[in-house]
Every structure is written in C-alpha cells, then in structure tokens.
Structure 1
Amino acid sequence: MAGRRRWSTEEILDAAAELLRTGDADAFSVRRLASELGTDSSSLYRHFRSKTELLRAVADRVLLAAMEGHRPEGDGKQRITALALRLREAFGEQPQLAAVWGRYASSGDGARLMMEEVIQALRASGIPDEEIPERYHRLAVLIAALIAFEAGAATVGPDERAQGMELFRVAVLGADPARFPAVAHFARDLRPLGADRAAAFEAILAAHLAGMGAAGRA
C-alpha cells in the first residue's frame, strides 16, 4: 500500500492560508488542516512545532509578498506611509490573515524586512538611536491595529453592515440628553467605526507621524 503523501512546508502554508481565507484564526486548527491535506497532525508538527508557529509563518508570507519589489523613496515619513499603505493593500486582499498578524505577529524574513525599513525610515527622520526601539514599537502596533480593524470590517457582509449602521443610528440619535449630553449634542455628526475607513487610516497615521516629527526636532 502506498504511503501518505509527504507535504512540503510551502504546500502546508498554502493550504493553511486557504483555510484562513474562508474562516478565521479561532476556527483554525492543525487537526482541521491535516484533514484537508489527507494526513495526520503529527506529520504537520514535523514542519511546525505549534499552531502559533504555523500561523506566524502564514502571516509572514503576506509580509514577504508585500515587501517584494519595494523600493523606499522620499523622506522618513513618506517611506513609513508608503510601507503602511503597501501592507494595508496586501492584507486587504487576504483580510482573514490580518487578524492572524495582529494576534500572533510573525518572525520570518517578511517581518525582518518590514522592521528594517521602518527602522531605516526612523533614522532618516532624525530620530535619535536611543529612541528608535520605542518609536518602532508604537508604529508597528498602530499599523497592525489599523490594518486588522480595516480587515475585520471588510469581512462583514452587506446585511450585517446595514444592521450595524441602523443600530448605531438608534444608539446615537436615541441617546437620552440627560444621561449622555455630549453624545446627544454631537449625535448628527458622529459616524460609526466603519465609516470612511480609508480616510481614517491615512489621517491617523499622518497624525502620528506629525507628532513623531515634532518630537524628533525637540
């Protein structure tokens, strides 16, 4: 009887990415992945020591693809903005994987390429070396959070989105002025979290980078 097929690391990652495109990190399991491949979990653990390690590797492939062919241009702020938009686009094509990156991070070449570019851009902005690690951390958290938020909103269907908008309107426009005076005052101008996500992403990033520049000049 012929033995079970031996799957390569890349084939395993391809299958894992496909499962995550149609599900989410909570529903994902090594056992389910093994079943999809027609093998057992132990054969996958020869490639990855844990589910978390496997998920990190899947997320890192998105980073690696985003960094492929990237050519830094402009000053430090322009470089960071271009990188953030590039990562946003890459995860926007695979929104389920954005949550994986936000939750598990990654530690492969994709992550190292991203880190290298951000750190080089911070240095180009005139940030003192002793401040670089903390500045990098804040930027990484901000970019990952913005991308994960956008991706999460992108996975919501039109019916759920419409229901959410209606619930928001009820919650805001129906706010009791006696209990929630500030909400009631601004009710007609407040927007739900999902509104104008693209503009919000760029505005929040620009505000952070503006503050970074001011601190760097101090």
Structure 2
Amino acid sequence: MKRGRLDQRTIVDAVLELASREPQARITFKRLGEALGVDATAMYRHFRNKDELTRAALDRLAETATADARASTGDWRDRIERFATRMAELSLEHPAIGAEGAVLDPVGPGDVASDEFILEMLTSAGLSGAGLIRAYAAISGFTLAQSAALAQEALVRRDIARDGSIPWISTFGSVDLAGFPHVREHRDQLLAIDGLTVYRAGITAILDSISRSAAAA
C-alpha cells in the first residue's frame, strides 16, 4: 500500500483500506506509516491526532454514500433509501471507522453534502418548516446511530460476516416462553431477523411517516 505524495486524501485512502482489510486491527499512526512507507510522524503534518483523522474518514464515508445516492434513479424516497443503505454498507465494510460515527462528528464537506442531500430530497417531497427539520432529524439520527451500531457489532465479533447478517436476537436462552405467548408464537420469525433487516425496517417506517406527512401537506 505504498504511496507517492503524502496528503490528507492519500492518508484517508490508506485508513479506509486498512479498516476494510483488517477490520479488527487497531489503526494507529505507526501502522499507517508502515502501510504508506513513511515515518509515523509524517501523519502529524496533516492530522493533529487520531480523532481528527477518524473524522476525515467518516466524512469520506458520508461523501461516498451521498454521491452514490445522487447518482441513483427514482423519486425522493428511493434515493434516501439508497443513501441510508450505503451508509450501513460502508460502515460494515470499514467497522473500525463506522463504529466511531456514534461519538465523532465529521464536520466536513462530505457530511455537509449528506445534510444538503437529505434536505433537498425532503423538500422535493413537499416538506418545509418544522416538519422538514423533524424529518431530517429522524433520518439523520437513525442512520447515524444504527449504522454505527452495526459496525460496532461487526468490530467486536470476529466470527461473523460484515454484511449485516448478525442475528438481532440470537437466543432466548433458558427463559420459559410459556409466559410470553406473543414471543412464543413468533419465536422462529424473531430469531430469523438480522441487523440489516432491522435497519431497513427502521428506515422504511420513518419514510412511511414522512410520506404521510408530505401527502397531508
């Protein structure tokens, strides 16, 4: 992974490549320097610390998801679904980065571009004012929190694929379900749910609500 000229974009490329190739490895400036063929101190000429670098990597994920959604076809709803799906996919692809999305705010051009995209799509749906901001908050908050949660689980569990297929409920253990008739009735279906199914169901519910609000407006 040796590079030529070292700049911020090259370093972020290297971070994301490492996070994808070695998902459980701790990314440090020393490890990055080895991958790039430079002294670790060279990183500090471009990023003050690891948090700043991680923010830049998160910003790249938002930039990529937004660009993919903008290039997609369909109405406002289809394109927001595409954006949300890509955010989850990218977080799972780079779990060491995606998991940090719950605690670090990128505050970069990619992040702002994603905000602009969501607001643009919701405006085209017919929302405005407080309703527009509420809808934005629901989409942004859910996408951020849940994609980070998917990444965190993929990060700590070395035995699973990074495709969102981790069971939402892995087991009911030794609990006697006789006293929980609804859980007992739907036990098999509940155990078949995975993390990405939960994520998509949440986005669908949010967009269903927004669609009703837009129609009423």
TM-score, scaled relative to structure 1 = 0.72
Root-mean-square deviation over aligned CA pairs: 3.4
Question: For the Cα contact (< 8 Å) 1:123–1:129, is it kept in 2?
Answer: no
Question: For the Cα contact (< 8 Å) 1:123–1:132, is it kept in 2?
Answer: yes
- Give 1:197 deviation, angstroms: 3.3
Runs of 4+ in structure 1 deviating by more than 6 angstroms, as ranges, are none
* Structure 2 equivalent of residue 186 of structure 1: 183
Residue 117 of structure 1 aligns with an amino acid whose one-letter code is F
* Structure 2 equivalent of residue 101 of structure 1: 101
* Structure 2 equivalent of residue 68 of structure 1: 67
* Structure 2 equivalent of residue 169 of structure 1: 171
SS of 2:91's partner is helix
* Structure 2 equivalent of residue 54 of structure 1: 53
> How many residues in Structure 1 have an aligned counterpart in Structure 2?
202
Aligned partners of 2:211, 2:150: CA distance in 1, in Å? 26
Give percent identity, aligned residues only: 25
CA pair 108-128 structure 1, distance change in 2 beyond 3 A: same
Q: Unpaired runs of 5+ in structure 1?
A: none
- Give 1:115 deviation, angstroms: 1.3
* Structure 1 equivalent of residue 139 of structure 2: 139
> Which structure has the bigger radius of gyration?
1
TM-score, scaled relative to structure 2 = 0.72
Question: For the Cα contact (< 8 Å) 2:66–2:117, is it kept in 1?
Answer: no
Question: For the Cα contact (< 8 Å) 1:98–1:151, is it kept in 2?
Answer: yes
Greater mean deviation of Cα atoms: 133-142 or 145-154: 145-154
- Cα shift readout 1:143-169 (whole Å, capped 9, x = no counterpart): 122323333444534489xxx97x943
SS of 1:169's partner is coil
Aligned partners of 2:177, 2:87: CA distance in 1, in Å? 42
Aligned partners of 2:94, 2:122: CA distance in 1, in Å? 28
- Give 1:120 deviation, angstroms: 0.5
SS of 1:107's partner is coil
